[in-house]
Amino acid sequence: MIIDHNHPDYVAKWKTLGEDKYNGAYYYSKEIVKNIIPNVKTDRNWVTIRLAENKEHPDHSIVFIHNNRNPNYYEYLQNYKDCILVCGLPSTAENVSFFGKTIYLPLSVDVKAVEKYKVKNKTKDKAYAGRSIKLNYATSSLPKDIDILCNMPQSKLLREMAKYKTIYATGRTAIQAKVLGCHVESHDVRFQDASIWQVLDNREAAKMLQEKLDEIDGV
């Protein structure tokens, strides 16, 4: 069983988010389903998005954790048996370890899909890229006259980011910017070292996940 971004409850909620629907969890789920799940052998179920707490959730699942700020959002997972929580940051894996077994799997992107937007000559200087809500965590190091690339479909965001020499971003957006040949700077008080965002392709992440699952399941 795979519970992903196509689940009716998730789709219904996603449609109410307005511009905020262009978020990393949605696009990451699409890549997980396309590039990671087909390359991992397991008898476990998959949950690539977060459903409301009162919705049915399968036991014996691999659950991707997307919220790094509020681990208590996942407290309801204690109600389900034998779940493995996949986290994109070591700190998140530690914070949700009370709710199930955890795996730290570095964030990854579909490198080939991103590379299609790469350009030879960059015509613009600096921009912030990502969700507008993340600007709340911006430090004073973020230039005041910087361009803002927010709330747009991923294809448009990648096309626009490719034009810039420097991108201020975190997470998968920062990784995508590096694939596009941009210099990445940190703006977030929580992630002040942009070097933590390393380029990793989804398919390579699948291999890493397979190894860690095999260790847990004794394969």
10-36 per-position pLDDT tens digit: 888 888 887 777 788 889 999 999 999
Same domain, 152 and 70: no
Question: 9 pLDDT exceeds 90?
Answer: no
Same domain, 186 and 125: yes
Q: Which amino acid is at 87?
A: C
Q: Are 174 and 184 in contact (CB under 8 A)?
A: yes
Same domain, 94 and 8: yes
Same domain, 147 and 189: yes
pLDDT tens-digit readout, 187-210: 877 777 888 899 999 999 999 999
Same domain, 98 and 115: no
Residue with tokens 């190894």: 211
Same domain, 29 and 96: yes
Same domain, 96 and 17: yes
Same domain, 116 and 182: yes
The total domain count for the chain is 2
pLDDT tens-digit readout, 89-131: 998 999 898 888 999 999 999 999 999 999 999 999 999 998 8
Same domain, 41 and 138: no
Same domain, 29 and 46: yes
**82 φψ region: left (φ > 0), alpha (ψ -120 to 50), beta (else):** left
Same domain, 122 and 207: no
Instruction: Domain of residue 122: give its range.
Output: 111-196
DSSP letters for 99-121: GSEEEE----B-HHHHHTT--SS
